[in-house]
Structure 1
């Protein structure tokens, strides 16, 4: 009867793991993966075709869906909000607080700027991800009045 010793079993397991991991990082469709002209350990001869970007580094405005819907699929009601536009805590974010209800909104569209006193109409944008951390996203459909 043949018995395998623990060191031998560990060596076989390590070898199998090394083979599996070696195959994980290669992409046979990539020209650099099939290139045999470079020496082992040498840097690739061609530059990558994509430029890495930092997460969120190029986003300057929230993503707005083409239609505003509530969770049940029906259009959200039109809101009329009157208040002053202030600067949010995040860079390039605006906050509009309704003077009648005290509700805080994140205005999207309308060309608003800090210091404007406005009355706007719009819809609460559901399912929208933004980089701003204040207020409900409000997709502005019409600026009724503006002072500022």
Structure 2
């Protein structure tokens, strides 16, 4: 899992560093930590890929609180589902890296981060271009 997170971070920093939109006042460390936050990965990437339906995980909250999810989706963050899904995204990336190498699906994850608007707007075009070149995008 830790290697998967590092793979994502490395790939993101390589894309950002080669971006024409990069300015001297951009804090790449902040951009990477915000974009690849475990909860963000879980909420946007994990949910998009349906990881919550595949995980065998039981939250440590009462069943009554889980019933609130339908009326208040923010409960998912509080019960830890996004955290677990974010860790699952990193673990999947670790497995893909071990099997196929760095760029195999990192481009798709970054493209989803762009769509979720967690990546700063100046870098959206660069991420889209890289993802498209790598075959990870079907839509603009």
Alignment TM-score, normalising by the size of structure 1:
0.17
More helix by share: 2
More strand by share: 1
| Bigger Rg, structure 1 or 2 | 1
